[in-house]
Structure 1
């Protein structure tokens, strides 16, 4: 079960990478069309923002599992294995609680926009719930990732201080 979730995280990380690449393509096209053809687009900037808005939350769970978030380990590096495991579990619990709270409040915002039919108010006038849905989706995945990593840490102990991750 954990392996299946980690495979989903990797897939989402690759999807996030593709969204970031698409952002680069969209913005490059906008520059070329604006400055070389004097014909700016109405879609490139907004779709680029949408890609960025979705790319970052989608990859948060993967970043947590792969220990790619910023970590301050000056104290935990000095701890023994058991104390480091407890510290890791407490940190993951804090991440899980934070992610759960953001998921709930983010869902409320998304749902309100969906129900009211709000739009972005831009030239494309996309439904506002499309970018807003990235928050509950991304933080919901982060919540699950924190739980999965708590289970891994409980079973296997904390990752080594040198950055080695669980196998």
Structure 2
């Protein structure tokens, strides 16, 4: 997959989050391997690995959507979208942005009090190791959604005057360039656009 270009300050922040987050699954695998060795080889299990893996995985899960939004790899029904004239495509883009911003605003409005309370109380997980998962993940939800909304606005602004893209179901397949060239030659031989 070729990454979408970075087009502004929000893209840079999203790209930065993603570069940190891409290493966290390796960290999770490492600490789980450590736990398995300690538990089954040395019969000395840890108290912290399970909660640490939950904490790290929760953070990655939340921030992964930012990268998907920046890369424009979120779900869109291209078979319908590509048939629309450009002004109607832009109207659909604005409508989807408005729906997203309404969702973001609703979650921020509804979740701010609880997130603030958990952060100020430094609420912990309630286990033997007792990490502050609720105190950190709840505010991270709000921060992530705020950046997601800003990323969606940035995408709309950048993509507004770009030429429309047309999609082919074959684009989703991981075809080699040689096979794609052969398909183009076959389509041209049949007299189709390619």
TM-score range, shorter chain: 0.7 to 0.9
User: What do the CA deviations read for 1:123-156 (whole angstroms, capped 9, x no partner)?
Assistant: 2212231122221111111111111122123343
TM-score, normalised by the number of residues in structure 2: 0.74
Q: Which consecutive aligned stretches of 4+ in structure 1 deviate over 4 angstroms post-superposition? A: none
Aligned equivalents of 1:116, 1:36: Cα separation in 2: 39
User: What do the CA deviations read for 1:58-115 (whole angstroms, capped 9, x no partner)?
Assistant: 2322211212223333321211222212212211221122122223333322111123
Corresponding residue to 1:71 among 60, 76, 100? 76
Aligned equivalents of 2:39, 2:109: Cα separation in 1: 41
Aligned equivalents of 1:161, 1:24: Cα separation in 2: 39
* Residue of structure 1 equivalent to 2:64: 59
Question: Which of 1 and 2 has greater Rg?
Answer: 2
Corresponding residue to 1:43 among 43, 48, 53? 48
**1:155 and 1:101, CA in 2 relative to 1: closer, same or farther beyond 3 A?**
farther
* 1:138 paired to 2:144: yes
Q: How many residues end up aligned between the 2 structures?
A: 162
Aligned equivalents of 2:131, 2:140: Cα separation in 1: 14
* 1:110 paired to 2:121: no
Corresponding residue to 1:156 among 157, 162, 181? 162
* 1:92 paired to 2:100: no
Aligned equivalents of 1:105, 1:19: Cα separation in 2: 29
Aligned equivalents of 2:142, 2:135: Cα separation in 1: 11
Aligned equivalents of 2:8, 2:36: Cα separation in 1: 42
* Residue of structure 1 equivalent to 2:186: none
**1:106 and 1:22, CA in 2 relative to 1: closer, same or farther beyond 3 A?**
farther
Shift of the alpha carbon at 1:51? Answer: 0.7
Aligned equivalents of 2:113, 2:61: Cα separation in 1: 20
The alignment yields a C-alpha RMSD, in angstroms, of 2.1
